[in-house]
Amino acid sequence: MNRLEIEKKLNEDRAWLLNTYSALTDDELYADLTPSEHNPQNFWSALDHLAHLALIERNFAAMIRKHIAGDANPVGLRIDDNGVARSRDQIMASVHAMTEEWQMTHHGKSFSEVVALGASARAVTLQLLSELSDAQLEEVLPGAPWADGTVGGVLAANADHGRMHWKWVKDARLHSH
């Protein structure tokens, strides 16, 4: 994807996400919906799903910055810092623990506070996008399983991530009624 396509996708999907979540009532925003992947006793609300997006968006930007700085393992999921390969189960366990910690930290925050978390993360992404050359956007981000694996594709994947979480929220809401 080129710079214009990435920025357009990020902005259009962010507006869509804010419009979609703002149509929910407080009860719909805060209700327990989906069991945590880390601890099924803990449930995520629609607002937890929205807050989660900010964590991943910041992580993606950090991975890209590490890559641009020359880190050979900027994603660090498949291989740890010691060069040891991780199984899919090990990768997912660490990802779920990280996202659970974020969810617990931000659970119960107001809609406005969660929107601000997302705005801050999006600002980081847009700042990074402004700093990268067209050639850098086309570079492969080593170890990235998202989108087409390029720096630009990973940045744009933030938009798809929001839609994926909304689908989970919507499906859980349908099954809870």
* Domains of the chain, each with CATH number or no CATH: 3-23+43-176 (1.20.120)
CA–CA separation, 16 and 74 (whole Å): 30
> What's the pTM?
0.93
**94 neighbors 102 (Cβ within 8 angstroms):** no
Cα 64 → chain centroid: 14
Please give the pLDDT value at position 171.
Answer: 94
Crossing angle (nearest 10°) for helices 88-106 and 111-131:
130
Distances (CA, A) of 45 to 30, 52, 162: 5, 11, 14
Distances (CA, A) of 167 to 69, 77, 85, 131, 174: 35, 25, 32, 32, 11
Helix (H, G, I), strand (E, B) or coil at 35: strand
Per-residue pLDDT of the chain (177 residues; tens, 9 = 90+): 899 999 999 999 999 999 999 999 999 999 999 998 998 899 999 999 999 999 999 999 999 999 999 999 999 888 877 888 888 898 899 899 999 999 999 999 999 999 999 999 999 999 999 999 999 999 999 999 999 999 999 999 999 999 999 999 999 988 875
Please give the pLDDT value at position 97.
Answer: 92
CA–CA separation, 79 and 114 (whole Å): 32
